[in-house]
Amino acid sequence: MSIWWLFWHLVWLIICFPGPSHWKEIAHSCGGSAQSPINIEQQQVRLDPGLGRFIFEGYDSAPRGPWRLLNNGHTVELSLEGAGGQGQLCIQGGGLSHSYCALQLHFHWGSPTSNGSEHTLDGQRQPMEMHVVHMNTLYQSLGEARGHPRGLAVLAFFFKVQNKDNANYNTIVSGLRKVSYQGQSVELASTFRLENLLPERRLLSSYYRYLGSLTTPACDEVVVWTVFKEPIPIGRAQLAQFVSTLQASPVDAPPVSMRNNFRPAQPIGARRVFASPSGAPAFSPSAQMWALLWLLLAMACVGVL
Q: How far apart are CA 175 and CA 177, in angstroms?
A: 5
**Cβ-based neighbour number of residue 66 at 10 Å:** 14
3-state SS assignment for residue 53: coil
DSSP string of 98-163, one letter each residue: S-EEEEEEEEEE-BTTB---SSEETTEEPSEEEEEEEEETT-SSHHHHTTSTT-EEEEEEEEEEES
Of 108, 131, 139, 208, catalytic: 139
- In DSSP terms, which residues pair with 131 in a beta bridge? 106, 156
Of 74, 108, 207, 208, catalytic: 74
Q: How far apart are CA 61 and CA 193, in angstroms?
A: 5
**Cβ-based neighbour number of residue 86 at 10 Å:** 19
3-state SS assignment for residue 30: helix
CA–CA distances in Å: residue 203 to residues 55, 132, 157, 194: 13, 17, 12, 16
Our answer to whether residue 74 is catalytic in this structure is: yes
Report, as residue numbers or ranges, the catalytic residues.
74, 139
